[in-house]
Amino acid sequence: MYDVIIIGSGITGAFIAHFLAKYDIKVLVLEKDVEVSDGVTKANSAIIHSGYDPKPNSLKAKLNVLGNKMYGDITKELNVNFKRIGSYTLAFDKEEEVQLKKLYQQGNKNKVETYLLGKKELRAKEPNIKETVRLGLYAPTTGIIAPWEIVYALLENAIYNGVELKTNHEVIDIKKEKNIFCVKTKENTYYTRYVINASGLFAHKITQMVTNDVDYEMRYTRGQYYVIDRGYDDYVNSVIYPTPTNKGKGVLIVPTIHGNILLGPTSEIVDNPNDTEVTKDGLHYIKEHIDYMMNHTPYKGIIRSFSGIRPKTSREDFIIEELKDVKHFIQVAGIESPGLASAPAIAKMVEDSLLKKEQLPMKSDYRVYKQKNLKISEKPIDEINRLIKQNPKYGKIICRCESITEGEIIDAIKGPLGIKTVDGIKRKVRPGSGRCQGGFCQPLIIEILARELKVRKTDILLNNVGSNILIVETKQSGGEK
Amino acid sequence: MMNQYDVVVIGGGAGGMSSALGAYQNGAKKVLLVERDIELGGILQQCIHNGFGLHHYKEELTGPAYAERLKQELMDTEIDIKLQTTVLKITKDKEVHMMNEKDGYQVIQAKAIIASNGCRERTRHQIDIPGKRLSGIMTAGLAQRYLNIDGYLVGKKVLILGSGDIGLIMARRMTLEGAKVLGVAEIMPYSNGLNRNIVQCLHDYDIPLYLSHTIAKVSGNDRLEQVTLSEVDEKFQMKEGTNKTFEVDTLLLSVGLIPDNKLLTDISVKMNPITNGAYVNDKYQTNIEGIFACGNSLHVHDLVDYVSEESYEAGKNAANYVLHQNKVKQNIINVKSSDHIHYVIPNQIMLDNKNVAFKFRVTKPMEKALIMIKQGNKIVIEIKKRHLLPAEMENVKVNKKVFKYDDDISIEVKGV
Ligand SMILES: Cc1cc2nc3c(=O)[nH]c(=O)nc-3n(C[C@H](O)[C@H](O)[C@H](O)COP(=O)(O)OP(=O)(O)OC[C@H]3O[C@@H](n4cnc5c(N)ncnc54)[C@H](O)[C@@H]3O)c2cc1C
Ligand SMILES: Cc1cc2nc3c(=O)[nH]c(=O)nc-3n(C[C@H](O)[C@H](O)[C@H](O)COP(=O)(O)OP(=O)(O)OC[C@H]3O[C@@H](n4cnc5c(N)ncnc54)[C@H](O)[C@@H]3O)c2cc1C
């Protein structure tokens, strides 16, 4: 019997688990995929927006501004990379200029620090902005983060402090009997007093399991991106936004925390929450819009394209509330952008609503689990040699594009989260995210995973069930040698 | 005390081994060869088919056998070899930073460095294949490594995109291992592989080659299930109504190789945007004195014999540089590619009485062509050719005595 079951291990579920971990209660996180952070949280712009953009007085505005503030302390506490690199929102014609001035007012209302800058100042800060620029809005608090890194850190800390996590556990039904929820997965049934639905693109499906009264529709909105290799640092220093339209924030340029650059996203309605395709038209659209704002875009450095789906709903704001007809079922739905930026504040709001219902005792032995965040190759030589003496595997480079060692990979497999897949390793320690996209290191990663997990190489998955990379050992296949 | 070497070679493939031999046999005393893998050989290790060494050893060897010959030659020298050691960075002052499990992080001072660290494969992301990101889509060289080194098949029903040599060889290899290869698709109206591979790998196994075709879409859930091909017009635009759908679990990409040069670009070695390798003179020296480049990290080769030849020369030049610090600035003139020539190496030559090998590729297949090497407007050398293919690198040796002026040299071809 659990006190709280959280459905979903994206950034929303992870922050909630983190905040509940300090209480002396039984908490379980259920995740349908093999690895955590595999939903909306794995594919987005990775910006901790400053908060001038959402409509004043909306939940989005309130939680974005508060969330942005909370990131500094939390990332320091857990030792996760986070940088406030600031952002420029640009206007290229009269209309956009008017719109930008309105945004500046809105920023003031939302209590976000912003400045209007002219062409000269803008081009001095970001020389690759086109000469056609007329006005820019500078927001110094805009930050960048690797969303899955913070999720891993939050969940590892939660697990370390007693929260349970079960991946590959899809919730297929929920029943409420008296005051207890029976949460069914394919394998098992779990009992709990509270359910928190943080299931991203599937939030309405989970809510439908307990009520017929779902008062919103999902509007899955896909965003496609290009990723540019590291090493183009002189292209931009900050996040660059166009003037937003009613379609959203538009196509951006985002330096990532690991030194890559993202170009995107598009914004297209799709029928299906799994429709993470990239399309010719979409990729073309990105280039067109980037070229409107910027000179010297290093398209030559493109190493990857991907897409993510926004869980937009007809209510257009975050939906964070206990169901009226099902007490103790808290729905956290419609967490589209600025969902990453708001996540700590969203979780705080959920925590507060639980605290309103009952007194939760604190754990006496709560201790923070800090990320090791080794990055061997970035350390001073003496320290590297000290680490290699302790564990020679820190001396063996597996991923040459990103200089990741075997020791770091084994740490990820043996850590509290227990990474099991090739994509999981890639998100946790980055091998395969460089220029060669795993061309050199994937065979080595499979070998290490199989050895450490004591399974066959053919059992190793790229990401989800059914995504095996090696099919048969050739000794057994039909052909001749 | 820092470790000191005359010449440090990065990469132990055919290129690295040959250049270490070149340096050693021409007088460099302390030579170090650094290789990240557990053994020497590089890409040769996974090329278990025949077709290596016809020029260099005058017999047809497999890749590993060719590598074995070079290893034997190395054994007879005092060249130091470090295996399972990765070079992390080099500096303009020719420090080599490297790391392994046993010695940890080490910094070595070299007098000359030869970068011969090979190439990587172009991935689906660099050619914008539409559709989801699925298991079952991978580069052909990676599939080759899984099959020939690790002993695993990556799929049972296969389509191959790109008619480069690796793709063609994998079509045959997967077939022999019991997989069904449904076809090879190529966006160009001609194949990008060597002719002998088209015949021996496709025709002999009745595998269709779809020229002027590309991928309209890939689909599936977690694993690839379907690939749709579409025919393209002269401008590479997909033609309506030409879609063909294949039920396959695997898509192999053989869409090009890219020289791997992070070590060099990090210290701002001047690069050629066409080859993605360094600009070099006829000593294979980059714009930074004492730093040399050769093999597939300089430009992608189709024949290993030329890798060996070029790299041996690079090694020899590095030794000469160390021994004589030959800074005598002779007349240096530029070499440029002109009509229908994709690129040429070297990019500069020094005027003396020695030979130079011009290596270049044409931009399109040509029948009955005339190659012209010009200095200024004057034609210095003319060579008639029955066929020229972009897939086959041309290698023309010239004695530099013929260049009498200090105008730039250019190479061009025309049909006759
Ligand atoms: C293109 C794009 C760009 C964006 N850019 C930004 C940005 O720059 N800044 C920003 O602040 N926000 C941004 N966002 C929004 C942000 O990414 C999301 O708000 C956030 O990631 C949502 O996290 P989540 O945890 O709510 O959902 P998810 O990450 O989707 O997590 C939900 C989890 O629930 C699991 N689940 C679903 N159903 C079940 C079930 N039945 N049983 C068990 N588990 C289940 C899923 O597998 C998933 O892991 C962007 C979004 C997109 C798509
Ligand atoms: C699939 C395929 C089929 C081919 N078929 C034929 C054929 O039939 N006949 C023929 O003649 N030629 C063929 N070739 C061409 C020829 O074999 C290659 O061009 C040649 O072997 C390349 O040698 P190389 O030394 O330049 O590169 P590689 O063999 O790639 O060697 C580079 C080496 O550098 C190492 N390295 C890289 N980075 C570092 C670092 N930072 N630190 C330490 N070490 C590093 C790598 O591990 C590797 O061993 C084929 C090539 C391929 C890819």
Which single residue is written with the structure tokens 């505005």?
A61
Of A231, A439, A475, the CB nearest to B120: A439
Q: Does residue A245 carry a pLDDT above 90?
A: no
Closest residue in chain B to residue A440, using alpha carbons only: B142
Cβ pair A342, A350 in contact under 8 A: no
Go through B250-278 and write b for each residue having 16 or more CB atoms within 10 A of its CB, e for each that does not.
bbbbbbbbbbbbbbbeeeebebbeebbbb
- Contact status of B240 with chain A (Cβ, < 8 Å): no
Which of B62, B100, B107, B133 best tests the A interface by mutation, with the highest count of A CBs <10 A? B133
The CA-based angle B372-B378-B384, given to 5 degrees, is 20
Tell me, in angstroms, the distance from the centre of ligand 2 to residue B71's CA: 14
A379 has a pLDDT exceeding 50: yes
| Fold match, B1-121+257-327 / B123-255 | yes
Q: Using CB atoms, pick whichever of A438, A470, A480 lies closest to residue B146.
A: A470
Q: Which ligand 2 atom lies nearest to the CA of residue B42?
A: 49
DSSP string, A66-114: HHHHHHHHHHHHHT--EEE--EEEEE-SHHHHHHHHHHHHHHHHTT---
CB contacts under 8 A, A 227-286 vs B, are 227, 231, 274, 276-280, 283
Q: What are the residues whose beta carbons fall under 8 Å from the beta carbon of B211, sequence distance 6 or more?
A: B163, B186, B188, B189, B190, B191
Shortest Cα–Cα distance, B248 to chain A (Å): 13
pLDDT at B205: 97
Looking from the CA of residue A335, the nearest atom of ligand 1 is 19
CA distance B254 to B192: 10
C-alpha–C-alpha distance, residues A424 and B202, integer Å: 38
> What average pLDDT does the segment B314-333 reach?
85
Residue B323 has pLDDT above 70, yes or no: yes
Over residues A87-107, the mean pLDDT reads 97
Read off the pLDDT of residues B42-52 as tens digits, 9 standing for 90 and up.
999 999 998 89
pLDDT the model gives residue B331: 79
Instruction: Give the residue-averaged pLDDT of B182-192.
Output: 93
Q: What is the pLDDT of residue A481?
A: 38
Q: Is-contact B72 B66, C-beta < 8 A?
A: no
* Domain residue ranges in chain A: 87-140+218-313, 376-459
B87 lines ligand 2 (CB under 6 A): yes
Q: Which CATH architecture has domain B330-416?
A: Sandwich (2.60)
Question: Which residues are registered as beta bridge partners of B180?
Answer: B157
Average pLDDT over residues B141-156: 96
Domain boundaries, chain B: 1-121+257-327, 123-255, 330-416
CB spacing of B36 vs A479 below 8 angstroms: no
| Nearest C-alpha neighbor of B402 from the set B369, B368, B378 | B378
pLDDT tens-digit readout, A24-69: 999 999 999 999 999 999 999 999 999 999 999 999 999 999 999 9
**CA–CA dist A25, B225 (Å, integer):** 45
CATH of domain B1-121+257-327: 3.50.50.60
CA of A147 to the centre of ligand 1 (A): 10
Mean pLDDT within A267-291: 94
Predicted local confidence at residue B258, as pLDDT: 93
pLDDT reported for residue A401: 85
The yes-or-no verdict on residue A478 having pLDDT over 60 is no
Is B176 near chain A, with CB under 8 Å?
A: yes
Q: For residues A10-31, give the mean pLDDT.
A: 98
Q: Alpha carbon of A403 to those of A177, A252, A415, A431, A434: distances in Å?
A: 54, 28, 20, 8, 10
Q: Is the dihedral of CA B30, B34, B38, B43 positive or negative?
A: negative
ipTM, two decimals? 0.92
Average pLDDT on A237-262 reads: 94
- Across chain B, what does the average pLDDT equal? 94
B34/B10 Cα distance (integer angstroms): 5
- Percent of chain B clearing pLDDT 70 (strictly above): 98
d(CA B315, CA B208): 43
At A317-372, the pLDDT tens digits run 999 999 999 999 999 999 999 999 999 999 999 999 999 999 999 999 999 999 98
Judged against a pLDDT cut of 70, whether residue A242 lies above it is answered with: yes
Instruction: Give, in degrees to the nearest 5, the angle at Cα B324 between B319 and B328.
Output: 120
Residue A480 pLDDT exceeds 60: no
What would the CATH number be for the domain defined by B123-255?
A: 3.50.50.60
Task: Say whether pLDDT at A151 is over 60.
Answer: yes
User: Would you state the pLDDT for residue A247?
Assistant: 78
Q: How far does the centroid of ligand 1 lie from the alpha carbon of residue A57, in Å?
A: 23
Confidence bin at B19 (pLDDT 50/70/90): very high
Task: Determine the pLDDT at residue A479.
Answer: 44
The reply to whether A258 belongs to the active site is no
Query: Residue holding tokens 């598009």?
Result: A266
- Which member of A18, A49, A204, A328 is catalytic? A49
User: Is A133:A114 a contact under the CB 8 Å cutoff?
Assistant: no
Residue A4 contacts residue A194 (beta carbons within 8 Å): yes
**Banded model confidence at residue B2, pLDDT cuts 50, 70, 90:** low
| CATH top class, domain A87-140+218-313 | alpha beta
Q: What is the pLDDT of residue B328?
A: 57
pLDDT above 90 (res B402): yes
B277 in helix, strand or coil?
Answer: coil
Which of A173 and B352 is assigned the larger pLDDT?
A173
* Fold adopted by A376-459: Arc Repressor Mutant, subunit A (1.10.10)
What is the rounded radius of gyration, in angstroms, for the C-alpha atoms of chain A? 23
Whether the pLDDT of residue A453 is over 90: the answer is yes
Which residues, at least 6 apart from B56, have a Cβ–Cβ distance to it below 8 Å? Answer: B66, B304, B305, B308, B309
Chain B partners of A457 at a C-beta cutoff of 8 Å?
A: 150, 152
Q: Classify strands A164-166 and A27-30 as parallel, antiparallel or unpaired.
A: parallel
Q: What is the mean pLDDT of chain A?
A: 95
Of A32-46, A148-162, A279-293, B126-140, the range with the lowest mean pLDDT is B126-140
pLDDT at B74 over 80: yes
Residue B325: what pLDDT? 75
